[in-house]
């Protein structure tokens, strides 16, 4: 198939738009076979099916590289309680907070988990997303953590989307281990990681390194287990304070370090050395009324690739829009629209360890988004407006 008469945003190797004003893309066997100027199309491609895109914009399909779309229940009532003045303790005493999501997730069947995740997935797909990362971490017991990962993997049997699953057993301390987080790590988290890996369910291992979650020693034990199994690691770090998670993650060659509002320039330097991607999550920053900005200038200065993601979760980021995430990354974090688009494509791919998608380049998967837009900055610019015309995932066209 040949797509012609389009404005193409290839995302060049310099992490710039890489604009082709009037271009064409040839797709063969699900891969990009040729890309170039419309007036230089090799004759052979003109013999096959040709589509005239009438000047529309083509970008790499978007990638949401950090989500918790699989979970039970929601926390809308808690949201309302807090806005009526309830304190964190009152919310917790009323059974709210992360504990309530763990309870609802444990009560859900795999089918329930899948069914409740699909509308969130659909919202992302409607905006041109082709890859979604999904974390466990609301089960915090063996069976529920495994069910979360199984449900996540089932998504791609129901939708044309690629799913990457991340084991996040070290997300929170469950009530039954309230006074023994070390016991939880050693007796539940690590054995569950091994079981999930044995079932082939784990693409990466994550943790929440924070005062309210796990310290660096506890995360280190999880990372050692991951290393033994040969699984790449990533980490929720320095979201609310700086306790050294970024440096630990870099020591383990983390593919990404996520949140990192409280990271320092020194952290940026170790991330650059380790080749870790900085995953910025403006939805959580917005929801939590956070004021500490991630060290964007230090990431730029030291060449740390910046990705952005929704962090779609029922507590700190009930956000299922990658386009709004791009807008927030510009407005709240002062990314340029170009950085936002690279962050939701090429760098998001890298944060997942994927080298076959995220750019428009010969040999990569034909994962494309076609927009009713004239300039790529339009994608980050509008709020609550979706200009998607069509998605192409692995060469297969999906009408918007
Ligand atoms: N960071 C967060 O902000 C959330 N998890 C995490 O690792 C909070 C999750 C929740 O409140 O449900
Ligand atoms: Fe998260």
d(CA 93, CA 331): 35
Q: Is 97 annotated as a binding residue?
A: no
pLDDT digit string, tens, across residues 36-50: 999 999 999 999 999
pLDDT digit string, tens, across residues 234-246: 999 999 999 999 9
Q: What is the mean pLDDT of residues 267-284?
A: 98
Instruction: Let me know if 394 is exposed, middle or buried by CB neighbors in 10 A (0-12, 13-18, 19+).
Output: middle
Q: What is the pTM of this model?
A: 0.98
pLDDT digit string, tens, across residues 337-349: 999 999 999 999 9
For residue 5, give both structure tokens: 């008469």
CA atoms within 13 A of residue 299's CA, in its CB half-sphere: 27
The answer to whether 307 and 296 are in contact (CB under 8 A) is: no
Beta bridge pairs of residue 364? none
With 80 as the cut, is the pLDDT of residue 88 above it?
no
Task: Assign a CATH topology to domain 2-60+359-399.
Answer: Urease, subunit C; domain 1 (2.30.40)
Q: What is the architecture of the domain spanning 62-351?
A: Alpha-Beta Barrel (3.20)
Q: Is 100 in the pocket of ligand 1 (CB under 6 A)?
A: no
The answer to whether domain 2-60+359-399 and domain 62-351 are alike in fold is no
Q: What is the pLDDT of residue 252?
A: 98
The residue whose C-alpha atom lies closest to atom 10 belonging to ligand 1 is 315
Q: What is the mean pLDDT of residues 186-213?
A: 97
**Per-residue confidence band for 207, with pLDDT thresholds at 50, 70 and 90:** very high
Q: Is 356 annotated as a binding residue?
A: no
**Per-residue confidence band for 182, with pLDDT thresholds at 50, 70 and 90:** very high
Closest by Cα among 148, 133, 31 to 352? 133
Per-domain residue ranges of the chain: 2-60+359-399, 62-351
With 90 as the cut, is the pLDDT of residue 87 above it?
no
CA–centroid distance, residue 315 to ligand 1 (Å): 6
Listed in order, strand segments (DSSP E) in the chain are 2-9, 19-28, 31-37, 50-52, 57-60, 62-64, 129-135, 162-170, 204-209, 234-237, 256-259, 277-280, 306-308, 368-371, 388-393, 396-399
Q: Is 314 in the pocket of ligand 1 (CB under 6 A)?
A: yes
């Amino acid at each position: 198939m040949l797509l012609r008469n389009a404005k193409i945003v290839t995302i060049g190797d310099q992490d710039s738009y890489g604009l082709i004003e009037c271009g064409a893309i040839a797709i063969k066997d699900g891969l990009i076979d040729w890309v170039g100027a419309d007036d230089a199309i090799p004759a052979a491609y003109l013999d096959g099916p040709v589509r005239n895109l009438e000047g529309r914009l083509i970008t790499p399909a978007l990638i949401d590289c950090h989500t918790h779309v699989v979970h039970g229940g929601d926390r809308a009532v808690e949201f309302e309680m807090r806005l009526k003045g309830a304190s964190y303790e009152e919310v917790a005493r009323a059974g709210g907070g992360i504990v309530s999501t763990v309870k609802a997730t444990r009560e859900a069947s795999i089918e329930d988990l899948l069914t409740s995740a699909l509308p969130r997935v659909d919202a992302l797909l409607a905006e041109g997303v082709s890859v979604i990362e999904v974390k466990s971490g609301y089960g915090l017991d063996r069976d529920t953590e495994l069910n979360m990962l199984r449900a996540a993997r089932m998504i791609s049997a129901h939708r044309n989307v690629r799913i990457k699953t991340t084991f996040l057993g070290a997300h929170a301390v469950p009530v039954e281990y309230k006074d023994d987080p070390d016991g939880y790590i050693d007796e539940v988290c690590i054995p569950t990681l091994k079981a999930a890996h044995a079932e082939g369910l784990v693409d990466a291992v994550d943790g929440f390194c924070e005062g309210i979650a796990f310290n660096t020693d506890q995360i280190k034990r999880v990372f050692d287990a991951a290393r033994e199994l040969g699984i790449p690691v990533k980490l929720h770090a320095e979201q609310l304070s700086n306790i050294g998670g970024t440096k630990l993650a870099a020591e383990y060659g983390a593919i990404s370090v996520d949140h990192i509002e409280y990271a320092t320039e020194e952290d940026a330097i170790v991330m650059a050395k380790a080749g870790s991607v900085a995953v910025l999550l403006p939805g959580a920053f917005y929801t939590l009324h956070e004021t500490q900005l991630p060290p964007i200038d230090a990431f730029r200065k030291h060449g740390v690739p910046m990705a952005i993601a929704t962090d779609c979760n029922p507590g700190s980021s009930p956000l299922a829009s990658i386009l709004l995430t791009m807008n927030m990354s510009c407005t709240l974090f002062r990314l340029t629209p170009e950085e936002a688009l690279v962050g939701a494509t090429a760098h998001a791919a890298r944060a997942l360890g994927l080298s076959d998608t995220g750019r428009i380049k010969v040999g990569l998967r034909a994962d494309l988004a076609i927009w009713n837009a004239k300039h790529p900055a339009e994608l980050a610019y509008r709020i609550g407006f979706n200009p998607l015309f069509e998605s192409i995932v692995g060469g297969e066209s999906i009408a918007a």
